[in-house]
Homo-oligomer: A and B are copies of this chain.
Amino acid sequence: MEFSAKQIAELLNGKIIGDSDIKVSTVSKIEEGFAGSLSFLSNPKYIQYLYTTKSSIVLINNSFVPEKEVQSTLIKVEDAYHAFASLLEIYNQQKSHKEGISGDSIIEDSAKIGEHVYIGANSYIGANSLIGDQTKIYPNTYIGDNVKIGNKVIIFSGANIYSDCIIKDGCTLHSGVVVGSDGFGFAPQNASEFKKVPQIGNVIIEESVEIGANTTIDRATLGSTIIRKGVKLDNLIQVAHNVEIGENTVIAAQTGIAGSTKIGKNCMIGGQVAIAGHITIADNVKAGAKAGIAQSVKKEGVILQGIPAIELRNFWRSAAVFKLLPDMKHQIDNLERIIGKEKGE
């Protein structure tokens, strides 16, 4: 896709200084600009780069007046940063504009497909499944039987959605995501063998959830594993059966949540955190990377760190002393020797 300075200025309601016919096909940081790219200048720290950048077009604030000659075509707008962010969104929407049902997809007869959808090649839609309007399903994706997918959902290539799961409007699932795999439930059958407990629940993913690449969400044993509205999950996260994650909670990569745990709203959980099963985490809780949360957290808004996790300020105090442990041991042994000597031992 190519855009001229003129087209961009019209989109952004901006004023061109320079060549209105110059074209760009991508964006770049101003300090890494090149012919054909568009950049923006907002932070005063970067002003120096305006005079040396190779970017074909630079968005600048109306209020900004260059002090030297500029090679790039400038577009003056009210707020260069916001204008740039708007452009990115338009660019992204154009780039991912896909529509139509590939003749190389396999759709069971009983599935119902909405309007203006994209269903890519080699994808499979199972019996009785529903695909909402303007939803995009990229190639090589598997949608099982009786799955309900809402409107404006994007499912990238190679995702796997097991039967009976529900994905509501506006969600984005990245490649390799697995939704609805069996929960890890096995009952001891005798001294040593295990028998599988049937996992016949499902997964419900509410509106505007984003799920990162290769993240796995198990179906409930009974009932539903639930990801509430607005939750953002990064890559390679494990969500076990019967977990519930509260609205707008954000979780970084490689974190794992064991079975039947309920996480509150607006929590921020770092990467590689482990959260035990059958516990409850209050709203607004934060957990640092690698924390191990073994017990319920009842106090809203606390910040946790460490294994087992304790409040952050205590953790850092203890962690600082951890480095001093060999010295402390030495101090104590020394004190004992002195005291012992004084007592004539």
**A223 adjacent to B32 (CB under 8 Å):** yes
Given the contacts A200-B92, A216-B214, A289-B276, A248 and B122 also touching, CB distance less than 8 Å:
no
- Quick one: closest B residue to A146, CB to CB? B95
A124 at the binding interface (Cβ < 8 Å): yes
Stretch at the interface among A3-11, A16-24, A46-54, A186-194: A186-194
| Cβ B336 vs Cβ A326 within 8 A | no
The reply to whether A184 and B198 form a contact with Cβ atoms under 8 Å apart is no
Select which of B157, B321, B338 is within 8 A of A326 by beta carbon.
B321
A290 in the interface (beta carbon within 8 A): yes
State whether the Cβ of A167 lies closer than 8 Å to any Cβ in chain B.
Answer: no
Report A290-345 residues with CB < 8 Å from chain B CB.
290, 292, 294, 306-308, 310, 314, 317-326, 328-329, 331-332, 335-336, 338-339
Q: Which residue of B lies closest to A164 (CB)?
A: B95
Contacting residues, chain B, for A256 (C-beta < 8 A): 236, 253-254, 271-272
Q: Pick the contact of A322 from B29, B142, B160, B325 — CB < 8 Å?
A: B325
* CB-defined contacts of A172 to chain B, threshold 8 Å: 182, 196
Q: Which of A60-91 contact B (CB under 8 A)?
A: 85, 88-89, 91
A151 at the interface (CB under 8 A from B): no
**Which B residues are in CB contact (< 8 Å) with A216?**
176, 212-214, 235-236, 253
- Name the one of B32, B140, B317, B328 contacting A160, with C-beta atoms under 8 angstroms: B140
Q: A104 at interface (Cβ–Cβ under 8 A)?
A: yes
* With A95-B200, A289-B292: A238-B235 Cβ-Cβ less than 8 Å: yes
Measured CB to CB, the closest approach of chain B to A119, in angstroms, equals: 12
**A121 surroundings in chain B (CB, below 8 A):** 106, 124
Report the nearest B residue to A270, measured CB to CB: B274
Q: Is A132 an interface residue (CB 8 A)?
A: no
Interface residues, chain A, with chain B CB atoms under 8 Å away? 26-29, 32, 85, 88-89, 91-92, 95, 102, 104, 106, 120-124, 138-142, 144, 156-158, 160, 162-163, 172, 174-176, 178, 181-182, 184, 186, 192-194, 196-200, 210, 212-214, 216, 218, 222-223, 230, 232, 234-236, 238, 240, 247-248, 250, 252-254, 256, 258, 265-266, 271-272, 274, 276, 289-290, 292, 294, 306-308, 310, 314, 317-326, 328-329, 331-332, 335-336, 338-339
- Supply 14 A–B pairs (Cβ within 8 Å), ascending by A: A29-B222, A29-B223, A92-B199, A139-B142, A140-B140, A140-B141, A140-B142, A160-B175, A175-B178, A178-B213, A186-B232, A235-B238, A325-B325, A331-B336
Q: What would 11 more interface pairs be, CB under 8 Å, given A138-B142, A193-B230?
A: A27-B222, A91-B200, A140-B142, A142-B175, A156-B181, A176-B176, A194-B248, A314-B326, A317-B326, A318-B323, A328-B329
